[in-house]
Structure 1
Amino acid sequence: MDGKLSPFNPGAGTVPPVLSGRNDTREEVRICIDRLLNGRHANGQLLVGLRGVGKTVLLERLLYDAEQQGAITVHLEAPEVKSLPASIAPAIRIALLRINQVQMAKDAVVRGLRALSGFVAGLRVKYGDIEVGLDYPPEPGLADCGDLELDLCTLLVEAGRAARLARTALVIFIDEFQGMPQQQLSSLLYALHRCTQHQLPIMLVAAGLPPLIKKVGDAKSYAERMFEIHDIGPLADIDARNAIAIPAEREGVLISSDALDEIVAQTGAYPYFLQQWGKLAWRAANESPITYEHVRQISTSAIEALDKNFYRLRFQRLTFLERRYLRVMAEIGAGPHDVNTVAKQFGEPAEVTEPIREALVAKGMLHESLIGETEFSVPRFHEFLKRIMPELTPADAA
């Protein structure tokens, strides 16, 4: 069938035709924002999962939902692109200008914008990437001491006060949250905590890889009480089937039950993988319905597409020793893996392999699932490693 009519399109953060299986999380966040809008407290929300499970897509949908509820939203760039001050300063300015449309909040908005000017002036030397238009001159002593923790706290408190007077809520959305530098993360958590203590309608919704849980806990001792954690993983069987069947039916195309069974089995119900299989199965069929044979026919091509577009870019960022370490893990299995067992299979003492493992954690390829255990951060990466590195060297097999 004509590819231009296909509803399936795998991509990083690409919105799927049907956001299946995430209603519980959407409902929980909706309730939290309703509570803020009604002057009640709500915890922040963390979306945690591996690559390819749809965290970014879900975060974008939650942002859209929040706007529909009447909240003011802020979306920050991934932390590896800009510093937190550089990302949050222009976003808070836009949020304040939107709040300024409410007459009763105008004075609070002006104070917030003066706090923003002080924030920029105080931190511009330390964070040279801050670029934002300023609407009012700074007020001496307002968010201008040059300490990120104190100045960010003052800025968010002033923004929260403006939001409260406007009878709205300010919801901050951050993707790739695990990559935020620890000191900047600590400052953000402190500011959010102070907003809660002032009963201000501000909430954080963040998404990232599993390491973010430990990182947040390490940043502030009280952080574990600030958030509710949503484990975002593969879809349930019925949700995975719906993610393929419903958009196809909307285009007048049926997919046989055994074809859906095969797609779910081959993809492990990971959202990104489902889109890849749906895209190729659509093209393999000349007409409706898409059958089991069509799915079997494109199995090799789908895996090759994953290897090329999903796995290989990550693999190419790795050094020889990092690749070898991961390949040894893959030989043991999907994981999680005891670090001492991996070191033994690698053929070196654990203290020798520990810097390699730490580098892989820093690159987001691995994460610690439990103390002393490490797990792949990319789903089915062990299968890819066996395909691209089919043989272990004698040293690897030691």
Structure 2
Amino acid sequence: MAHVYDVLISGAGPAGSIAALHLGRLGYEVLLVDSASFPRDKVCGDVLGPAGLNLLRELHIYERAITEQAYPVHRARLCGPFGTSVSVQFEFQSQLPEIVVMPREVFDNQLVCAAESAGVQRCTGRVCGLHLNNHGVRVRVREGKTYHEYQTRAVIGADGAGSMIARQLGPLPWQHRAIAMRGYLTGISLKPHTVEVYLFPQLWPGYAWLFPLSSDTANVGLGMDTCQYKQSQYTLHGLLEQFLNHSQIKARISKKSTLCQTRAWPVNLGPPVWHRLVGNRCVLIGDAAGLANPMTGGGIINAMFSGKIAANVLAEQLPQDRLSAVQLQEYVRQVKKLFSRELKFSRALTRIVGMSPYFAERFIQSARWTYSLFNHIYHDIHIKLLKEDRNI
């Protein structure tokens, strides 16, 4: 009989790598499968907040994962549709960085290396089929023109917004989607240690951003609801060009500037249909589960925590082979408890702010409201997440 893994994880992003690391340390045989060779680029805003950094410390990989390429953030600036701008200074209690901007190409590779150090095996390929059998799950993986098959007791779907694992389980768990484009711009004058968010009318109700990676290099991008984008007359490249040509931005870009690695990617926004996150011997985590914040589109933190929860639940269920969809509902219970309130609140707030650009401008003119908004996004969500995580 072929070798049987305890868990096969499809997708080596933060969700999959955290799950693999945790299970590997517990002594389980884990195979981590990803279609890319690492290090690899990934479309993202590259922002890591307090909860994510705290989880890295909890897993004792902070020093390994957060390299000198991580750029600390101390402030945020929000620019409204018609010119109003408000800046917020974050008040952190720790001397360590609480928010950093770090390229996913570097961060994800560090997490994969940490998982491999815990004994996790890795292979390059794309999962293209699942078949339940008497021994667990037979997983078919395509690498170029070659196909391989692996036997495993359980599968974790961490394969992102276009998750094949989610499609194999039946009706998709996510209900809302956004589309984002990101590039790296060098040769721009940036406000030190400040993330900048722009609510331009052309992107409404989406937003554009400048997230600094150094004094003159930024992650620049935009994101908007998929339905809204399909109804618009613009392309993503056209919208990004409009943003960079806006008077507030263009004046800060040098003639020798370069824009590279512009790529688009879909984002599955929460909250998901919770009961669809599990199937027989299968669990969905991260973007594959539709856990990205519907207000910001950010998904790294929720992905990491969902990976940790999935690993914990599987570690409890694997010894007795209690891996049916019903028996894996404990995972659903825990992720719902951890994320449901945040995702519902963020979706409601998005609807309120998104009523019209004029409505948003009025809100931004209230400095108290803007401070509360940024404090919620970059602080309160994370503190509540950490408290809830300890109570699970």
Q: Structure 2 length normalisation: TM-score?
A: 0.29
Highest RCO, 1 vs 2 (Cα 8 Å, sep ≥ 6): 2
